[in-house]
Each structure stands twice: as C-alpha cells, then as structure tokens.
Structure 1
Amino acid sequence: MSPMLETLNTPAALIDIARMQSNITRMQLQADQLGVRLRPHVKTSKCLQVVQAQIAAGAAGIAVSTLKEAETFFKEGISDILYAVAIAPSKLSKAWALRSAGCSLKIIIDSLVGAQAIVEFARSRDCSFDVYIEIDSDHHRSGVRSDAPALVEIASALHHGGIALLGVMTHAGESYKLNTPEALRAIAEVERRECVAAAEAIRAAGLPCPEVSVGSTPTALNAVDLNGVTELRAGVYVFFDLVMHNTGVCTLSELALSVLTTVIGHQREKGWIITDSGWMAMSRDRGTQSQTKDFGYGVVCTLEDEPVEGLLLRSANQEHGIASFDLPGIDVVSEYPIGTRLRILPNHACATGAQFPNYDAVHRDGSIEQWARLYGW
C-alpha cells in the first residue's frame, strides 16, 4: 500500500498502472492472435498516458467519441483516428479542419441523409472524407441492418458523390447483457457475421468496402474467429469495471480504476458508513442493476484494494455515499472509524472517470503520478 494514498485529497480517481498494463497486453494479444488490427476506443480513459501505453503495446490508431478528443490526441502526434459517432452535419467543418491539418480522421454515418450531407459539404469545399457506414448487428442502438436496401443506397451515394467509402463498422452493445462464455462467443459471431455480410452486400453492388471493423470489450475477448474482419475495437478493457465483471470477462482483481474515499460519518443503528464519495465521484451509472449481481454504486475495498466481503456503496447523494454490509451485526463505528480510507470499484469506468479532471496513477512501488483527463466535446 502506498503511504501517499493517505495524503491525497478525496475523492480521487486511482489507476493501478500494473493492472492497466496487464489489461492492455491481454487485449493486444487477443487481436494479434485473431489476425486483426486493434483500434482502442479511448473514450474510457480520455488520457494521453493511457493511450500512449496502448499504442506502445501495438495498437493501430484510436477511436474517439468526441471531436475534442480527436483534436487533442492529434496535437499529441496521433493521426489515425476514427470518430466513432454518427457525425452531425454541423460538425463537418471541424472534421474537415482536422483532415486539412493532416489528421487521418475517419467519420461514420448510418443514414442516406447523413451521406448526402457529407457529399454536399465536400462539394462546397472541394474536399473529401473517409467514411464508415455503421451497421446494426444486434438491434442495440444505431446503424443500418446488413440486409436493408438503405445500406447499398448509402454506399452508392457516398461513392458516386466522390466520398471514399472506407468500410463498415459495428458495436455489439447487447453483449453487456450477457454473462456466459457461450453466449458471448455466440454474439461475437453475430457481430462478425452481420458486419461481414454488410461489406459483402456493398461489394456485390460493385462498390468498394475494404475495411470491416467490429468490437466491444466482451465480444473482443470472446471471439474465436474474425474471418473477413480487418479491425477490432474495444475500450473499457483498459480499466474494466463491475459491469464487465458481471459479463464474466474479468475478475475484481483486474479492475484498474477505483475511487479513493474517506469515511466521514456513521449511522450506527442502521449499519451505515458515510463516505465522501457520492454520485459526483462515482457517477449515477447503475449499470449492474439490470445484471445478475447488483453492486449498488460500487464494491468497497480496503486501501490495499482488497474487496470487503458484503460491503457495498448502496446509495449516494451528491457528495455523500452510504456503504453497508449485506448482513447486520458489524460495529461499523469501531471497524471503520472516521478518517478511514477506502477504495470503491465502479460500475462503469467511463462514467466514473468522467467525474474527475485527472487520475492519480499508482505505480507498483507506490509512487504516484497525476495524469490529466480530457473532458468536453
């Protein structure tokens, strides 16, 4: 345990660097063994040092969730960037500014209207874009189905409008609801099959579609065959979290992000431990609530990051967290006196990280570095 953890202001977002590096290595090896490029989605960390570690391990480019991320990482020398959200027409000017500055920015769309907006903008500026069409492989969120007539219409509008159709991409978000290796392997195959089928439909129409990009952390780690796929994307694997733990892709000992908190009070008769880690620190994300195991707002750990059996952060106000045990009988006042420092493992690493302007990154020897975290759009 680092003595420096006793001196940090709380709440604080801690990164266990050794765990993070292990997670990075694990995903990179999986991509290498499957014979595809790995493009990490950096929306989880939004942190230069984390992204640099992923690239050093072998990642090829990054995916981002905001154009501000793209601008920031491009300034740091990363040019191969996929903006992995269907682009609003109002953001095309900013996207083109990045491309004209030398950034190899790729954008995505999932509608004919979106394709037409890109074509019209490009013609007005005498410019072009590299575009992916988003595929709905599991009815989770956005995208066009692989067998929808609109798919070829979108591809044709881009191609004949002078826009480079780079490929198709998908995200199997429904995998977050599963919890067995068999189910995760099955949805990974659905993800692969649907995205490859979309690419084949476009090619059958005489149109180019060189790239096929798939990925979510659960499917990436459970895929056994990515035939026809060129690129794997995943994001939360770099830290993991309780939602990922519930899917079965990681253990609690692999979670690299935690929130350092201080005990600030008690309600002895209720068995409550009051902490300074409310929802402003943990976020309001209750992603485990719909899974097989509800962890409340997080699993409470010792300062050494060992989970305390039965102790969860069960509710949260803005700046107050309320932790309690599964069963009564523990004298929380004597066991966890005011001033005690604890760590809390979060439901959703992306959401919890977003509550903090920086991370306190803890090395194996206990030394700590402060790493800035990007925010905004």
Structure 2
Amino acid sequence: MTSLAELTTPALLLDVGVLERNCEAMAQRAARHGVALRPHLKTAKSADVARRATRGHSGAVTVSTVAEAGYFARHGFTDLTYAVGIDARKIAALHDIERANGARVTLLVDSIEAVQAAGARARELGASFRVLIEIDTGGGRGGVGPRDDALLSLAREVQRSESLTLAGVLTHAGHSYHVQGGTAIRAIAEAERAGAVHAAERLRAVGIPVEVVSVGSTPTAVCAQSLEGVTEMRPGVYTFFDLDQVARGICGVEDIALSVLATVIGHNPRSRRVLIDAGALALSKDQSAAEFRSGLGFGLVCQAGGTVPLPGLCVAELHQEHGLIACEGDEDAQAMFRALPVGSRVRVLPHHACMTAAPYDRYHVVEGAGSGVQAVWGKARGWHAGV
C-alpha cells in the first residue's frame, strides 16, 4: 500500500468509505420516491465511481461532455443522457460512440433550430437519437418554460423529424445552489417537480407521448418531499459533496469524500502565510460556499491523515501553482508554522468538487483517517474523445 507521504503532490484523494455511504443514501432516497436514479457523472468522471453510484440500479447515467460519453460507453455504461443542449457538430462523434459500444445516447434540445440541425445531421449519417426537451423551472439557464407555447411547437418539430424521437422532458434546478436551508430548497424542489410534470402533462394532453420526466440537482434530490409524476432524478455532486453543500446545510463536513493532498513548500513570516504546492489549477478558484459561510477562503485545511479542518486555517490566496494558507484573525502565525512545517503534508477540502476534480487524471483512493492509498482510479478529462 502506498503511503500518502510517497505521493507526488498535488494529488486528488477520494475516501471510498464516504463515497459509498453517500451513494447508498441517494439510492435509498430514489427508492423511497419511487423514481429511477440516473446519476450525473460530470462530478466524478470515473467508471469506478459510476459502478458504486449505479449499484443495484439500471446503470443509466448522465454526462455533460462527448469525452464523458465515450469514456463511460467504453466502460460498459451504455444508457447515456447527454444533458447539455446539442450542437449538431457533435452528432457524428456521438453516433460513433453509439456504434462502437452498443450505446444509446439521449440528446437535449430547447429550440427548433437545434432540433432541425441535429435532425439533419443525424439523417445524413443514417443515425437516430432520442431527445428530451429542456424545461426551465426557474434556473434561467436553458430550456423553455413549462407553460410556454414554444413547448408544443418544439415537441411537434421533433415529431416531424425522420431521425429524432421525443423521449420526454428534463429540467435542472440550478438555482437551488443559491439558497440556504431546507425550507427554501424544498420550495425549489417542488417547483422543479411541478414544472417538469406540468410540461409532460401538456404534451400528453395533445397526444404527444412522454416517457421520461427527469429532474436534477443534489440539493433538490436531498430535500424533495414529493416526486410524484417524475420518472428519474439526476443528482451528481452528492457522490463527493463539498463545502458548497455543507454551507447550505445539505451535508456535513464528514460527508466530503474528496480532498487535495498538498505539500508545505515554505513559510513567509512577513505575510504570515504557509505556502503549499496546490494552487488555482489544483484547487480551482471557485468560492461558491462563501455565499453562505465566511472563513472558508479557497478551501479548508486539514492534517494529511484526516479531513477534520484545522481551527482558523484556510487557503486564503491562490496563484497558478501556489496556495497560501493563512490563520484567521490574530491567531499566532508561529503556531501555524510549527503545526505545518516545511515538507509536511495537508489535505484541502474544496468548495466545489466538480471544479476541483476536473483537471486531474486519477483518484488516489483511501479509506478513513490515516490510511494509505488502496487503489488508483482513472477518469475522463476534457471535452473530446474517441469511441
């Protein structure tokens, strides 16, 4: 077993025990609500994580890049929802992924122009795809409103296509990331559910079949009181959790499975900073949790052997390959220097697991405090992939 002291830093650590606990809890939520779980793997981008997130379920997953679609198809996950509005220039690559792996990729649309372009390109290739119409239930990112006239026009345009088939509707309550507390998130979860179900009912009322009613987001999946009328949910960051979810009360620090191992490379008594070799590229500059909680900097600092934050310490400043740890208020900088000597190792808990994990090509898998590396798991990166 490789010790943490032997790893080259920065390194991405994943606690498999916490991961499995998080996956099991979400699987139980889906079962209680009577809906399918189609985890969004844009967070983990890892087949080893996907196997745990889909254990006991259909194996259906959600992806956000062509690279992810190719990677997961090659690893045996063949029921894929590509949950980003489709660019027709990606149709050929997705068709290649389907043919090479016996996969089915379901596309997302929210405009007639996208339907026409995707349909034309698929027809040229002799391909066919199922599509979901994206519904905007308050997030304001993409999609048509559940009550908009455009919904029916869009569905009829899909029906006219020779190469596209309407599977249903999909929504994502991204605005749930900007409220705190169960009451506020439950209200958004209900609006998400009600909007998607209403859109499906409108289509069915005019004779358009709707098989899939898909909702997403970890906060709403955790807090939803009812998913009546929904067929599946697509949370993603719940596999790892992060400080962003802690700050809004979705989980506790003990539920964070992901951390970045870094080495202390210097002390700067003038600025009262400890330097580490994990900077903006290793941690990301996302400070999303700061919307609800102060004192987090760019991540909380823990000893290498565990994930209990050291009181008063955070990564206060980032450069490309340097992170600077500071002590809160008038805490004794000398005490910080003694606790974190040059050459020692620390773990940093991230604000946003998706952003932090994305650049890395592997996870170093650990379990519990003080454990060594039990395994190394690969993952997808980037946007483009072969079949």
TM-score (norm 2): 0.93
Contact kept in structure 2, 1:84 and 1:107, CA below 8 Å: yes
Contact kept in structure 1, 2:4 and 2:373, CA below 8 Å: no
> How do 1:288-303 and structure 2 match up within 5 A?
288-293=289-294, 295-303=296-304
Distance in structure 2 (CA, Å) of the matches to 1:329 and 1:80: 53
Distance in structure 2 (CA, Å) of the matches to 1:234 and 1:35: 15
**1:207 to 2:213 alignment:** no
The 3-state SS of whatever aligns with 2:54 is helix
**In 2 relative to 1, CA 296–140 (structure 1 residues): closer, same or farther, beyond 3 Å?**
farther
**1:311 to 2:317 alignment:** no
The 3-state SS of whatever aligns with 1:308 is strand
Write out per-residue CA displacement over residues 45-80 of structure 1, whole angstroms, 9 at most, x where no aligned residue. 111111111122435400001112111111111111
**1:34 to 2:33 alignment:** yes
Distance in structure 2 (CA, Å) of the matches to 1:272 and 1:264: 11
Distance in structure 1 (CA, Å) of the matches to 2:139 and 2:367: 41
Write out per-residue CA displacement over residues 132-157 of structure 1, whole angstroms, 9 at most, x where no aligned residue. 00111113311111111111101001
What is the aligned partner in structure 1 of residue 355 from structure 2? 351
> How do 1:90-101 and structure 2 match up within 5 A?
90-101=89-100
> How do 1:217-232 and structure 2 match up within 5 A?
217-232=218-233
More deviation, 129-138/93-102: 93-102
Q: How far did residue 3 of structure 1 move? A: 7.6
Contact kept in structure 2, 1:175 and 1:219, CA below 8 Å: yes
The 3-state SS of whatever aligns with 1:108 is strand
Distance in structure 2 (CA, Å) of the matches to 1:294 and 1:206: 54
What is the aligned partner in structure 2 of residue 43 from structure 1? 42
Contact kept in structure 2, 1:271 and 1:328, CA below 8 Å: no
The 3-state SS of whatever aligns with 2:3 is helix
What is the aligned partner in structure 1 of residue 137 from structure 2? 137
2:340 counterpart (327, 336, 342): 336
**In 2 relative to 1, CA 9–336 (structure 1 residues): closer, same or farther, beyond 3 Å?**
same
More deviation, 84-93/117-126: 117-126
Q: Mark the runs of 5 or more structure 1 residues left unpaired by the alignment.
A: none
What is the aligned partner in structure 2 of residue 61 from structure 1? 60
Distance in structure 2 (CA, Å) of the matches to 1:33 and 1:300: 36
The 3-state SS of whatever aligns with 1:270 is coil
What is the aligned partner in structure 1 of residue 8 from structure 2? 9
What is the aligned partner in structure 1 of residue 112 from structure 2? 112
Distance in structure 1 (CA, Å) of the matches to 2:282 and 2:300: 14
Q: Identity of paired residues, percent?
A: 39
Q: How far did residue 205 of structure 1 move? A: 1.9
Q: How far did residue 309 of structure 1 move? A: 1.2
What is the aligned partner in structure 1 of residue 281 from structure 2? 280
Distance in structure 1 (CA, Å) of the matches to 2:303 and 2:126: 59
Distance in structure 2 (CA, Å) of the matches to 1:205 and 1:118: 24
Write out per-residue CA displacement over residues 275-323 of structure 1, whole angstroms, 9 at most, x where no aligned residue. 1111121012222233343522100111222111111101100111111
More deviation, 34-43/92-101: 92-101
Q: Which amino acid aligns with 1:312?
A: C
What is the aligned partner in structure 1 of residue 81 from structure 2? 82
More deviation, 121-130/139-148: 121-130
Distance in structure 1 (CA, Å) of the matches to 2:94 and 2:360: 27
RMSD: 1.6
TM-score (norm 1): 0.96
Q: Which amino acid aligns with 1:92?
A: I
Contact kept in structure 2, 1:288 and 1:294, CA below 8 Å: no
> How do 1:215-254 and structure 2 match up within 5 A?
215-254=216-255
Q: Which amino acid aligns with 1:108?
A: L
The 3-state SS of whatever aligns with 1:50 is helix
What is the aligned partner in structure 2 of residue 270 from structure 1? 271
Distance in structure 1 (CA, Å) of the matches to 2:42 and 2:319: 26
